[in-house]
């Protein structure tokens, strides 16, 4: 199992590199409002836009560098995490393919705790 990048995200990386920008990604955990009932969500963005503050695991997915939050890296050792992208005009937006990834991470952590 691993972190995978789908074709749309690979195209977004290629477009970013063609413009001469760094195409490294960061897969992190973003806190949400307590009113949503879900305390956090998985988030993916470009490293140059969002400098990581804290520890991250560096992964190489093909030719793409990905910094991954340690919690998500442990989960990705057992299950697939897919990074995708969508585009609106000239704007590329990265996303995690599974919107319920953090719920699956919580379930996996609960099942695999010592």
CB atoms within 10 A of CB 84: 19
Q: Does the reported pTM lie above 0.75?
A: yes
Q: What is the domain count for the chain?
A: 1
What's the gap between Cα 14 and its chain centre?
A: 17
User: Of 81, 47, 40, 86, whose CA–CA distance to 66 is shortest?
Assistant: 47
Closest by alpha carbon to 96, among 52, 42, 59?
42
What domain range is 63 assigned to?
3-111
pLDDT tens digits along 43-67: 999 997 666 777 899 999 999 999 9
Contacts made by residues 51-60, CB under 8 angstroms, sequence distance 24+: 52/26, 52/28, 56/26, 56/28, 59/3
Judge whether residue 114 has pLDDT over 90. Answer: no
Residue linked to tokens 């063609």: 18
CATH number of the domain residue 101 falls in: 2.60.300.12
């Amino acid at each position: 199992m691993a972190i995978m990048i789908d074709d749309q995200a690979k195209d977004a990386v290629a477009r970013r590199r063609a413009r001469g920008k760094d195409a490294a990604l960061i897969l992190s955990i973003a806190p949400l409002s307590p009113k949503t009932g879900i305390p956090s969500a998985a988030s993916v963005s470009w490293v140059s836009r969002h400098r990581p503050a804290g520890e991250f695991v560096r992964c190489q997915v093909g030719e793409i560098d990905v910094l991954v939050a340690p919690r998500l890296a442990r989960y990705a050792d057992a299950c697939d995490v897919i990074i995708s992208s969508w585009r609106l005009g000239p704007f590329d937006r990265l996303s995690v393919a599974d919107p319920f990834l953090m719920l699956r991470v919580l379930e996996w952590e609960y099942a695999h705790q010592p």
